[in-house]
Amino acid sequence: MKFVCFGYLDVERWAEKSPSEQNAMIDQCVAYDETLKKNGHWAGGEALQGATTIGTSIGNDGGKTYVTDGPYAETKELLGGLLILQARDLEQAIQLISNHPGVKMGRWEVRPTQDLAPMIEASEKRRAAAR
């Protein structure tokens, strides 16, 4: 089963670290990620650019698509990235993330993924029947 794990960085706590402490934390995180890969629990992951990078929000209002700058990172907590884990169940996914050095720098949210294959198959059938 796959789980998406969102890692949030406590920006203030991170800023208090010296560059050598930050590098040591990064090295610990990368080493743990390598362990996850070696043990077959790593299914993917990406870091997000930092607080100085403005994201873009896209939405729809009354049939019109809009694009705005934001959200702005004016909070104590910043979504720093995500890991996709392969685990037998939620309990194991929580254990795997609990051991990640990144928990020392902020909270993690662990959410199970949903297999979209049945939904996609049903959609394909509906669209084929409508032709």
Predicted local distance difference test score (pLDDT) of residue 71:
62
Rounded to 5°, angle at Cα 88 from 86 and 94: 75
CATH of the domain at 9: 3.30.70.1060
Residue the block writes with tokens 């199970």: 112
DSSP track, 87-104:
-SSHHHHHHHHHTSGGGG
- The number of distinct structural domains making up the chain is 1
Predicted local distance difference test score (pLDDT) of residue 73:
53
In terms of residue numbers, what domain contains 59? Answer: 2-130
Mark 104-120 as b/e (b = at least 16 C-beta within 10 Å): ebbebebeeeeeeeeee
Rounded to 5°, angle at Cα 35 from 29 and 36: 90
Per-residue pLDDT of the chain (131 residues; tens, 9 = 90+): 999 999 999 988 999 999 999 999 999 999 999 999 999 999 999 998 876 777 788 999 999 999 988 766 556 788 899 999 999 999 999 999 999 999 999 999 999 999 999 999 999 999 999 98
Predicted local distance difference test score (pLDDT) of residue 68:
87
